[in-house]
A and B are shown apart, each in its own frame.
Chain A
């Protein structure tokens, strides 16, 4: 077991002979790298939220409220690019995958620590290049985060830095996924067989494969946009014989699997949190593992459900709709497993569990609205309306976002060795949850009534629901402020905690909080043990 001598330094205190900021910028310790990602991602999350609040403020009334159409287009483009490429795709793997994957498999670090740091620098340079697009040339891009052709190569706005920045961010993602796959293959503790891997490790592993497989396709597609703009290659230009729909295919061949990069780690976190606070081993470990890999694979073949109205063939519409229904099944299986874990458990309603329950509720709404979008007949009616916007915010923000906060509230004590204020955590959750639903539920109705997305204006009959939605955004923002402030306060000056404040049986709770530099003094040995790690 572990040596918890109080004279042992934790990883914050081990600076490797470096002073101040250099202990961070030159580190190869997966824990520090995870935290560096966290600080940057939280900062840009706030930026993204502010952009979102501005969008909602514009939409509080018909006509121009605070910005004109060009600015509005740039706002939702930047909001999307930041949220997708800087926050939700990297978010969980880069922060919690980095910090916890080695620990929960009983390793001292990832397989390629220097590559890990390089990934972070790629991430930072990608952000930097994206931000350049705001301040130079023809102004910030206005194409939406999806960069659809032909507009993306005709617009005079600053596409090149934004697309290049996205490329760098993608490269960072690929290398992180690569690192994690090799880590799981090579650095599992003795006796930790594949079917004894913690579920979060399985989630990160499956996610790594998606990062590896799918990202290069968007990489080359972004290069094609650059080539289109600079060299006029004509792949997607109808005037030169190209097909804009082919761009959509290539874009979504990545971007659909990308949403599984977002959600698989989230589901992994829920699979860790629920057993801890139900004081019960997870129900159906094997089913969760199989469904994780099934989602990763089947998720490759549903991409064109984003393109039902693009003009593609009826055959394709049919097949992709069918595949979309198939991919819903493994997700639903997980929900059943989580509910079954809670059933007859000894429930301890701490903040992490609150967030996990919130996840299940919001993710299910997102999932059900996804079925409406996946069915051809109904999709035609709601495609490109605010129904879609609501759907993906429920899944990504409600789903992955809730899991993110669940992870923060679960693992912050381990990372910093301190506890946040439980009461304020609960209040923050409540305020956020109410605000979130007031913000996004009306959009479902607005979409069905026909309000388009990505328009800075709308018909007068949509006003009252838009007002409600905007007020919801303010409530939600207050909730976020409470949550984040509470977490930061807790991390800096909260009361100290020991190894295992939650009473979990999982491996990360057997080492000190914060962990020592190399996680384990003695690598744990699982040979001949029968226990499942939750």
Chain B
């Protein structure tokens, strides 16, 4: 299949995304310095997931690619998370 109209991401977009990523990074560092107990892990992982999503969608171009790539990535990550959950069915209830 030939590329019809190539999507070209402007340089500025990448700079904005980096800015967001850096802000989120420093936010994580700041938040984890506050003792939130078990919520710390959750918050840190949530922010990490947001960062990862930005990298996937913009740096890795998923936002502008054909839908199938977003679909596959989502399914892979979903299956992986479910495997972790199923493993915890053992350890959580021992």
Contacts and interface: CB of A to CB of B under 8 A. Distances in A.
Contacts of B93: 313-316
Interface string B62-94: 000000000000001001001100110111111
Contact of B91 (A213, A301, A313, A320): A313
Nearest to A250: B87
A304 interface: yes
Interface string A293-330: 00001001100100000001111100110000000000
Contacts of B86: 301, 304, 316, 319-320
B69 to A, nearest CB: 11
B76 A213 contact: yes
A249 interface: yes
Contacts of B82: 300-301
Contact of A213 (B79, B92, B94): B79
Chain A's interface size range is 10 to 19
B66 to A, nearest CB: 11
A300 B83 contact: yes
Interface in A85-116: none
Nearest to A303: B86
Nearest to B86: A301
Contacts, number: 37
Contact of A313 (B76, B79, B89): B89
Contact of A316 (B79, B83, B89): B89
Interface string A234-265: 00000000000100010001000000000000
A314 B91 CA distance: 10
Given A213-B76, A319-B89, A313 B83 contact: no
A249 B87 contact: yes
Chain B's interface size range is 10 to 19
A297 B76 CA distance: 11
Given A213-B76, A300-B79, A301-B82, A313 B87 contact: no
Nearest to A313: B93
Contacts of B90: 245, 249, 304, 312-313, 315-316
A213 B81 CA distance: 13
A29 to B, nearest CB: 25
- Which one of A301, A304, A316 has the highest number of Cβ atoms from chain B below 10 Å of its Cβ? A316
A312 B94 contact: yes
Contacts of A304: 86, 90
Contacts of B91: 313
Contacts of B89: 313, 315-316, 319-320
Contacts of B79: 213, 297, 300
Contacts of B76: 213
Contacts of A312: 90, 94
Given A315-B89, A316-B89, A319-B89, A253 B94 contact: no
B18 to A, nearest CB: 30
A11 to B, nearest CB: 28
B80 to A, nearest CB: 8
B11 to A, nearest CB: 31
A320 B82 CA distance: 13
Nearest to B82: A301
A319 B86 CA distance: 9
Contacts of A319: 86, 89
Contacts of A245: 90
A300 B85 CA distance: 12
Nearest to A310: B90
A231 B91 CA distance: 26
A216 to B, nearest CB: 10
A253 B93 CA distance: 19
A301 B90 CA distance: 13
B92 A253 contact: no
Contacts of A300: 79, 82-83
- Which one of A313, A314, A319 has the highest number of Cβ atoms from chain B below 10 Å of its Cβ? A313
A103 B76 CA distance: 29
A300 B94 CA distance: 22
B76 to A, nearest CB: 7
A314 B83 CA distance: 18
18 contacts: A213-B76, A245-B90, A249-B90, A253-B83, A297-B79, A300-B79, A300-B82, A301-B82, A301-B83, A312-B94, A313-B90, A315-B89, A315-B92, A315-B93, A316-B90, A319-B89, A320-B86, A320-B89
Instruction: Rank and list the top 3 A-B pairs by shortest CB-CB distance, nearest first.
Output: A313-B93, A315-B93, A316-B90
Given A253-B83, A313-B92, 16 more contacts: A213-B76, A213-B79, A300-B79, A300-B83, A301-B82, A301-B83, A304-B90, A313-B90, A313-B94, A314-B93, A315-B89, A315-B90, A315-B92, A316-B93, A319-B86, A320-B86
